[in-house]
Amino acid sequence: MDYRLDGQAAYVLHARPYRDTSLLVDCFSLEHGKVSLVVRGRGARARASGPVFSPSCRCSWAGRGGRS
């Protein structure tokens, strides 16, 4: 089952580098609880500066399966 959630209020709990330009991010959303996400960077600019997060943000994500 595919799904997409847009503009969910969330708090960033933890972020760590993943591969060349991406991050593994753990977020907490009031509606969905703890969510682990892969934030993909793009190109040389992403490698140089990296994504910038504030402690609270709006997140959008998509996925398939694994939801109950």
C-beta contacts of 52-57 below 8 A and 24+ residues apart: 53/12, 53/15, 53/25, 54/12, 55/11, 55/12, 56/9, 56/10, 56/11, 56/12, 57/9, 57/10, 57/11, 57/12
What's the pLDDT tens digit per position in 46-57? 545 555 566 677
pTM: 0.65
Per-residue pLDDT for 36 more than 70? yes
